[in-house]
Chain A
Amino acid sequence: SQQGEEDPQALSIQEGENATMNCSYKTSINNLQWYRQNSGRGLVHLILIRSNEREKHSGRLRVTLDTSKKSSSLLITASRAADTASYFCATKEFYFGSGTKLNVKP
């Protein structure tokens, strides 16, 4: 399988807390991307990390990539209710996992 798999499947936290979700994959990759989807709508690109990068930041988002373990993590700091969404990792551009459903309670 070329797709990544996110973990946990669901995560519920309080506003202000940090949220961490993980992605594992099986094949070699050139890059890995994270996307967000609000309730059955189109996906929004969050961040792309290349295979030669170990960490990348964008605002409150921090993504790490460990190619030796074939895994990536997405950290959202100081979460807000508006961060409630499903988060997907994508490998080889096209292959998405089943996602982590994040619920941030106000």
Chain B
Amino acid sequence: DAGVTQSPTHLIKTRGQQVTLRCSPKSGHDTVSWYQQALGQGPQFIFQYYEEEERQRGNFPDRFSGHQFPNYSSELNVNALLLGDSALYLCASSLGQGPMRQYFGPGTRLTVT
């Protein structure tokens, strides 16, 4: 039973560029949430996708966008990268939208230079 997978593991981008991160949820899960975790901080909620729609969103600008595919996998896109976007990006999957236990992937480490 595969857990949550994320790609790539590491990524280095330049300011102003765009980046796409990918996530495959745990088998049987239909909901994907994305988080940004700066060094030494807790994860900050970006948004959640369910049934291919963004259902909830945290306090992140429109530069952060996402998509969920029919197979429940998801992408996180960040445009016009800033140095402050350097962080560990975590994807979490769960089943449905009730009070839910989330299963996290290992994350993608994004460095913006």
Contact = CB atoms under 8 A, between A and B. Distances in A.
Interface in B64-104: 88, 90, 92, 99-104
A30 B109 CA distance: 32
B8 interface: no
B21 to A, nearest CB: 14
A91 to B, nearest CB: 11
Contact of A42 (B33, B44, B99, B106): B106
Of the four ranges (under 10, 10 to 19, 20 to 34, 35 or more), the interface on chain A belongs to 20 to 34
Nearest to B56: A94
Interface string B43-65: 11100100000001010000000
A77 B72 CA distance: 39
Contacts of A97: 42
B4 interface: yes
Contacts of A50: 99
B25 interface: no
Given A42-B90, A97-B42, A30 B99 contact: yes
A94 B45 contact: yes
Contacts of B106: 41-42
A44 B107 CA distance: 12
Given A40-B88, A94-B33, A94-B56, A45 B101 contact: yes
Contact of A99 (B35, B42, B104): B42
A88 B37 CA distance: 12
Contacts of B35: 96
Interface of B: 4, 33, 35, 40-45, 48, 56, 58, 88, 90, 92, 99-107, 109
6 contacts: A41-B106, A43-B43, A45-B102, A93-B100, A95-B45, A96-B35
Closest 8 CB pairs of A and B: A42-B104, A96-B42, A94-B45, A43-B104, A31-B99, A42-B106, A96-B43, A45-B101
